[in-house]
């Protein structure tokens, strides 16, 4: 089940919210847990057992670490806990990739090695494994106390707004909210508005520019115009798809009183790759920084080690996105530029915006081509097209499969990227209530402003989005594959 589906919008979500608000406060974690497990089982019920096992493993490790605080076995438990989580991720996400790569390296096939099966990737495994690891490490570091409530911890892990495709959350950021959080009509309405904005970004923009990217990356020899249009379309599709999903997650959580931090902050207006990763998928960037970059030594062990750490973290970040060489090379591309910017001081002494912005956008765009391509060869085919090796003008085949509507929304998406700073408060769960037509009184209580303009506008946006959604046969989120 995905957020951009009629089943979710008109069946699951209404029933869940009714059940949630009819449940007494002290039992709402149970409602969240049961509802989220039903949400997960809509895809496959058997992998729910794996999810529960990882949850129980992290919970148990946390209790033991707290029990043995200050002793050597606490650190041993943390290491064992992390290894256990990584084994799950390694088997289900990377075993096929490593076996295929090993077989190719020695000139044979997995079948000849006696490896005949292809494991199914459990949906959301990359995210919930990171949630589990983060909790185990935080308990060991004393950044959060080990929770005694398995239900609260399991509800955090399973909280359906973020369980499938993020954002990557930390229990320490929500532990107090599980104990006490505010519910009110203005807060619920603000969450609904944020969800509507995210849904419209996904359905109206991402899904409409997607055919341009799909057409380009399916062609054997795309021309210069086709390659650039396809690459730009994917760049925009991915952003509005994933930021739209994050907005929906933030909005859904706010409907339940939870406040998630923003996951995107106008990343395509960055003036360096360093700044880009401070603005793109912020929850993942900070997770990699806190649980990988800093433990590797960060910038505390000399310049050379800093460059290696930056490169290695992004290399692993690329591999986290998917078990394919395209993701490894994408991570290496960003890691190399992060190290280069650190060495040259580009991120600290950026030249004029007129130079830095387009340079950064082009570097990000080049990386997205590798990220999107089915394999490394296809990526270099598009790169060849971008420099004119396959001709210049678009082919009849391309023009026949790309509509004026697709191109119009491509232009609108570009405009939206540059106009976004003026509207980013609309998707901020922590500080954006005033932007949704509410004022905040001195005691912190949200008070409605007597104006119908904003709710009417949001209602129309929701109607248009749902109408468009009903025309589509399927509307999958790109980050579900990771």
pLDDT of 161 strictly over 60? yes
Mean pLDDT of 268-272: 94
What's the CA gap between 254 and 189, in Å, rounded? 9
Place of tokens 């991402």: 206
pLDDT at 449: 57
| Cα atoms in the 13 Å half-sphere on the side-chain side of 206 | 25
pLDDT band at 482 (very low <50, low <70, confident <90, very high): low
| Residue 192: Cβ-neighbour burial (10 angstroms; 0-12, 13-18, 19+) | buried
- Identify the residue with better confidence: 105 or 477: 105
- Identify the residue with better confidence: 447 or 435: 435
In the chain, what percentage of residues exceed pLDDT 70?
93
Characterize 441-452 residue by residue with b for buried, 16 or more Cβ atoms within 10 angstroms of its Cβ, and e for exposed: eeeeebeeeeee
pLDDT at 346: 78
Which of 317-331, 356-370, 415-429 tops mean pLDDT? 356-370
Residues 6 or more apart whose Cβ sits within 8 Å of residue 236: 205, 206, 209, 410, 413, 414, 417
Q: Which is nearest to 292 in space by CA: 275, 322, 317, 318? A: 317
CB 184 within 8 A of CB 433: no
Q: In which element (H, E) is residue 448 found?
A: strand 446-448
* Angle in degrees, 0-180, between the axes of helices 48-67 and 28-41, rounded to the nearest 10: 140
Q: Which is nearest to 468 in space by CA: 259, 89, 201? A: 201
pLDDT band at 336 (very low <50, low <70, confident <90, very high): very high
Q: Residues 27-65: pLDDT tens digits?
A: 999 999 999 999 999 878 888 999 999 999 999 999 999
Q: Residues 393-418: pLDDT tens digits?
A: 998 989 888 999 999 999 999 999 99
Assess whether the previous peptide bond of 167 is cis (omega < 30° from 0). Answer: yes
Mean pLDDT of 136-159: 95
pLDDT band at 428 (very low <50, low <70, confident <90, very high): confident
Tell me the Ramachandran region of residue 298: left when phi exceeds 0, alpha when psi lies from -120 to 50, beta otherwise: left
Q: In which element (H, E) is residue 440 found?
A: strand 438-440
Q: Residue 294: what are its φ and ψ, rounded to 5°?
A: -65, -45
In the chain, what percentage of residues exceed pLDDT 90?
65
pLDDT at 479: 65
Average pLDDT, the chain: 89
pLDDT of 387 strictly over 90? yes
pLDDT of 278 strictly over 90? yes
Q: Which of 131, 162, 281, 321 is catalytic?
A: 321
Place of tokens 């303009």: 453
Mean pLDDT of 250-275: 94
pLDDT at 469: 87
Q: Can you give the length of the chain in residues? A: 482
Q: Residues 169-227: pLDDT tens digits?
A: 999 999 999 988 989 888 899 899 999 999 999 999 999 999 999 999 999 999 999 99
Q: Which is nearest to 332 in space by CA: 353, 348, 312? A: 312
At 478, list the tokens.
């790109």
Q: Which is nearest to 174 in space by CA: 249, 94, 74, 87? A: 249
In DSSP notation, 227-282 reads HHHHHHHHHHHHHHHHHHHHHHHHHHHHHTT--PPPS-S-GGG-SSHHHHHHHSSH
CB 168 within 8 A of CB 127: yes
What's the CA gap between 279 and 270, in Å, rounded? 8
CA 173 to chain centre: 18
Q: In which element (H, E) is residue 179 found?
A: helix 171-179
pLDDT of 150 strictly over 80? yes
162 is catalytic: no
Mean pLDDT of 369-389: 95
Q: Residue 448: what are its φ and ψ, rounded to 5°?
A: -70, 140
pLDDT of 115 strictly over 70? no
pLDDT at 442: 53
| Cα atoms in the 13 Å half-sphere on the side-chain side of 454 | 19
Residues 6 or more apart whose Cβ sits within 8 Å of residue 128: 51, 54, 55, 157, 163
pLDDT of 446 strictly over 60? no
pLDDT at 448: 56
At 326, list the tokens.
């395209």
């Amino acid at each position: 089940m995905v957020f951009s589906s009629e089943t979710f919008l008109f069946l699951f979500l209404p029933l869940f919210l009714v059940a949630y608000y009819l449940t007494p406060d002290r039992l709402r974690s149970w409602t969240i847990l049961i509802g989220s497990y039903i949400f997960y089982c809509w895809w496959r019920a058997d992998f729910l057992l794996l999810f529960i096992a990882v949850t129980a493993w992290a919970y148990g490790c946390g209790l033991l670490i707290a029990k043995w605080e200050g002793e050597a076995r606490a650190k041993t438990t943390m290491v064992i806990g992390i290894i256990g989580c990584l084994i799950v991720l390694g088997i289900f996400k990377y075993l096929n990739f490593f076996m295929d790569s090993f077989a190719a390296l020695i000139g044979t096939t997995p079948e000849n090695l006696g490896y005949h099966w292809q494991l199914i990737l459990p949906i959301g495994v990359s995210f919930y494994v990171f949630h589990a690891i983060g909790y185990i490490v935080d308990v060991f570091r004393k950044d959060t106390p080990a929770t005694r409530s398995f239900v609260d911890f399991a509800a955090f892990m399973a909280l359906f707004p973020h369980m499938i495709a993020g954002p990557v959350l930390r229990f320490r950021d929500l532990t107090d909210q599980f104990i006490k959080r505010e519910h009110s009509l203005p807060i619920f309405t603000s969450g609904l508005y944020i969800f509507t904005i995210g849904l419209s970004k996904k359905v109206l923009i991402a899904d409409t520019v997607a055919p341009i990217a799909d057409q380009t990356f399916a062609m054997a020899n795309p021309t210069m115009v086709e390659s650039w249009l396809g690459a730009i379309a994917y760049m925009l599709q991915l952003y509005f798809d994933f930021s739209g999903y994050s907005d929906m997650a933030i909005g859904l959580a706010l409907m339940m009183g939870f406040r998630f931090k923003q996951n995107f902050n106008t990343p395509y207006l960055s003036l360096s790759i360093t700044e880009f990763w401070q603005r793109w998928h912020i929850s993942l960037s900070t997770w990699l920084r806190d649980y990988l970059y800093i433990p590797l030594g960060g910038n505390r062990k000399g310049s050379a080690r800093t460059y290696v750490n930056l490169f290695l973290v992004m290399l692993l970040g690329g591999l986290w996105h998917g078990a394919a060489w395209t993701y490894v090379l994408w991570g290496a591309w960003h890691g190399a530029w992060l190290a280069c910017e650190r060495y040259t001081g580009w991120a600290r002494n950026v030249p004029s915006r007129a130079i830095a912005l387009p340079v950064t956008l082009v570097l990000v765009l080049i990386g997205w081509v590798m990220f999107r391509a089915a394999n490394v060869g296809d990526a270099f085919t598009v790169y060849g097209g971008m420099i004119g090796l396959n001709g210049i003008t678009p082919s009849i085949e391309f023009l026949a499969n790309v509509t004026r509507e697709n191109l119009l929304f491509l232009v609108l998406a570009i405009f939206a990227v540059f106009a976004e700073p003026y509207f980013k408060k609309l998707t901020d769960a922590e500080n954006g209530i005033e932007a949704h037509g509410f004022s905040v009184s001195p005691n912190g209580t949200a008070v409605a402003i007597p104006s119908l303009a904003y709710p009417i506008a949001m209602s129309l946006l929701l109607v248009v989005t749902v109408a468009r959604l009903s025309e589509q046969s399927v509307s999958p989120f790109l980050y579900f594959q990771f």
